[in-house]
């Protein structure tokens, strides 16, 4: 697959951007690249490294996009855009309910790496640098770019070169939340698409890993402007979708090289994991997907109830939500009140989808989400 892609790359470049194709790929290290293109006008992330115990108000008050996004942004230029998104995405979900989980994760990874600018969708950049989506920090299986292709195509038919890929992604994510049972919310619009996409930015401590400590998670989410409560709510995104066995199987078999299961997992959860991930350590092992909870297309509080009532979580960082004294009370609240999470999740997603966005004349509105204009 990768090889076919590499071979066809020069051809695609020739078709789409003849002038750029003539240039040699530069393979510049990221630091040099950054000084050449200092993130194209967006205000830089603060470089302060916060400790794990961040005072909550310090984070909540951080305003990352002061009022630049608008309701009904396309009211005059593409009044039907949300209808087109709804129609196209609900058709996709009918055939593949997993699309709900794919969208939420894609959105999270786009927004945490350089802001919600559709940089995750680019398949290549003219400089030849490795793009964000190729970073192993996304895991092997970041899905959903094809969903945006389909929605974008439909939107372009009615409103050519008008709606950014970043907005289409957010509108589709909102549709996913609505199909997953959350009260319909109107997303803001006005995001613009990035002109760059770099794996190195994804790898500069901008994406969490399932073996991270709670301090590392809080540092990252704090740096992005989320307090502890908001972080727990966002991690409730694991109420939908799947996790592949590679990310958590060793907890049942050989936790952290000890040759024993993870001591914080109850025996029945260990059994469940062993059953869900058969043939571990043999040629027959296939790294299958396992649902995060029993309702993988519904954004409900079951993920939190599983933690409180059964200590059940697949990945280690999700277990820490219950184990850590700072997050346990919030998990318990979410588990006890089934209306709380469905109300808080869209509010925190509104904040996520406004993170470090490009607006106005920054960036671009891409015609094809996978490539620059
Ligand atoms: C500590 C932070 C997080 C870690 C370590 C983490 C890790 C992971 C891992 C390892 C997977 C499985 C990927 C696979 O095997 O295909 C996954 C899936 C997923 N994550 Fe997270 N995640 C985190 C935070 C979030 C947040 C904040 C959201 C959204 C708001 C989110 C939404 C999802 C969704 C929806 C899936 C399922 C994807 C699908 O079904 O295709 N995650 N995450
Ligand atoms: C895993 O093992 C290392 C080295 O023995 C240790 O420092 C670390 O705390 C362990 N991690 C967990 C999650 O137990």
CA atoms of 328 and 325, how far apart (whole Å) = 5
Q: What is the pLDDT of residue 52?
A: 35
Task: Determine the distance separating the centroid of ligand 1 and the alpha carbon of 105, expressed in angstroms.
Answer: 6
Report, as an integer, the average pLDDT of 235-263: 96
Examine the pLDDT at 42 and tell me if it is beyond 50.
no
pLDDT at 13: 38
Ligand nearest to the CA of 102: 1
Question: Is residue 1's pLDDT more than 50?
Answer: no
How much distance in Å is there from the Cα of 363 to the middle of ligand 2? 43
Top pLDDT among 107 and 47 is at 107
Q: From the CA of 247, give the closest atom in ligand 1.
A: 10
Q: What percent of the chain has pLDDT over 70?
A: 82
- The per-residue pLDDT for 333 is 98
- Ligand 1 probe mutation, 230, 237, 273, most atoms within 8 A of CB: 237
Q: Of all protein residues, whose CA lies closest to atom 33 belonging to ligand 1?
A: 105
Q: So which residues are the catalytic ones?
A: 109
Task: Check if 238 has its Cβ closer than 6 Å to any atom of ligand 1.
Answer: yes
Per-residue pLDDT tens over the stretch 210-238: 999 999 999 999 999 999 999 999 999 99
- Is the CB–ligand 1 distance for residue 244 below 6 Å? yes
Q: What is the mean pLDDT of residues 250-265?
A: 96
pLDDT at 115 over 50: yes
Mean pLDDT rounded to a whole number for the chain: 85
Query: What is the whole-number distance in angstroms between the Cα of residue 121 and the centre of ligand 1?
Result: 17
Q: Between 127 and 302, whose confidence is greater?
A: 302
Nearest atom within ligand 1 for CA of residue 209: 5
Ligand 1: residue whose CA is nearest its atom 40: 241
CB of 350 within 6 A of ligand 1: the answer is no
The whole-number pLDDT of residue 113 equals: 95
In tens, the pLDDT along 178-216 reads 999 998 789 999 999 999 999 999 988 999 999 999 999
CA 89/CA 70 separation, integer angstroms: 22
Q: Which atom of ligand 1 is nearest to the CA of 104?
A: 35
Residue position matching structure tokens 């997992």: 265
**What does the chain come to in residues?**
373
* Residue 65 pLDDT level (bands cut at 50, 70, 90): low
| Span 241-257, average pLDDT | 95
DSSP one-letter code for 371: S
pLDDT at 169 over 50: yes
- Give the mean pLDDT of 345-371: 97
Can you give the pLDDT at residue 352? Answer: 98
Tell me the C-alpha distance between 209 and 298, whole Å. Answer: 24
Question: Does the C-beta of 315 come closer than 6 Å to ligand 1?
Answer: yes
Using alpha carbons, list the distances in angstroms from residue 297 to 115, 275, 324: 26, 22, 27
% of the chain with per-residue pLDDT over 90: 74
326 lines ligand 1 (CB under 6 A): no
- Report whether residue 359 contacts ligand 1, using a CB cutoff of 6 Å: no
358 CA from centroid of ligand 2 (Å)? 40
Position 31 pLDDT exceeds 80: no
Question: What is residue 66's predicted lDDT score, i.e. its pLDDT?
Answer: 60
pLDDT given for residue 127 in this prediction = 86
Does the CB atom of residue 264 touch ligand 1 within 6 A?
Answer: no
Structure confidence at residue 285 (pLDDT): 95
Give the pLDDT band (50/70/90) at residue 17: very low
DSSP class per residue in 212-258? --HHHHHHHHHHTT--HHHHHHHHGGGGSSEEEGGGTTHHHH-GGGS
Q: How far apart are CA 134 and CA 190, in angstroms?
A: 27
* Pocket residue to mutate for ligand 1, from 241, 314, 344, 348, most atoms within 8 A of Cβ: 241
Span from the CA of 256 to the centroid of ligand 2 (angstroms): 6
- DSSP string covering 103-165: HHHHHHHHHHTTSSSSGGG-S--TT-PPPGGG-GGG-S----HHHHHHHHHHHHHHSTTTS-H
Give 306-370 as a DSSP string: HHHHH---SSHHHHHHHHSTTTHHHHHHHHH-TTHHHHHHHHHHHHHTTTT-B-TTSSB--SSTT
pTM of the model: 0.85
Is a pLDDT exceeding 80 seen at residue 45? no
- The pLDDT value recorded for residue 139 is 75
Domains of the chain, start order: 214-352 (1.10.420.10)
């Amino acid at each position: 697959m990768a090889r076919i892609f590499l071979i066809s790359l020069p051809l695609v470049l020739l078709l789409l951007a003849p002038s750029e194709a003539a240039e040699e790929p530069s393979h510049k290290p990221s630091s040099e690249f950054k000084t050449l293109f200092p993130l194209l006008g967006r205000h830089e992330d603060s470089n302060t490294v916060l400790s794990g115990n961040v005072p909550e108000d310090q984070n909540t008050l951080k305003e990352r996009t002061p009022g630049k996004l608008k309701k009904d942004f396309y009211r005059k230029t593409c009044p039907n855009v949300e209808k087109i998104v709804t129609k196209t995405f609900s058709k996709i979900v009918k055939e593949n309910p997993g699309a709900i989980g794919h969208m939420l994760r894609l959105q999270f990874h786009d927004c945490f790496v350089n802001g919600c600018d559709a940089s995750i969708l680019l398949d290549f950049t003219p400089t030849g640098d490795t793009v964000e989506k190729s970073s192993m920090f996304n895991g092997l299986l970041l899905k959903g770019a094809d969903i945006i292709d389909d929605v974008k195509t439909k939107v372009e038919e009615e409103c050519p070169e008008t709606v950014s890929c970043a907005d289409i992604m957010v509108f589709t994510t909102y549709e996913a939340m609505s199909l997953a049972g959350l009260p319909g919310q109107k997303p803001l619009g006005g995001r613009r698409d990035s002109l760059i996409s770099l794996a190195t930015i994804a790898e500069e401590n901008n994406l969490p890993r399932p073996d991270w400590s709670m301090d590392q998670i809080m540092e990252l989410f704090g740096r992005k402007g989320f307090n502890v409560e908001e972080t727990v709510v966002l991690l409730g995104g694991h109420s939908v979708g799947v996790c592949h066995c590679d990310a958590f199987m060793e907890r049942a078999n050989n936790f952290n090289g000890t040759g024993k299961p993870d001591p914080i997992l109850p025996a029945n959860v260990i059994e469940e994991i062993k059953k869900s991930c058969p043939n571990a350590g043999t040629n027959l092992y296939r790294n299958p997907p396992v649902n995060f909870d029993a309702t993988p297309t519904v954004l409900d509080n079951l993920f939190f109830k599983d933690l409180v009532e059964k200590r059940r979580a697949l990945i280690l960082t999700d277990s820490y939500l219950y184990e850590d004294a700072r997050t346990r009370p919030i998990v318990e609240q979410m588990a006890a009140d089934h209306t709380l999470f469905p109300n808080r999740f869209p509010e925190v997603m509104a904040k996520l989808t406004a993170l470090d966005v490009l607006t106005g004349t920054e960036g671009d509105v891409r015609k094809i989400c996978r490539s620059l204009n």
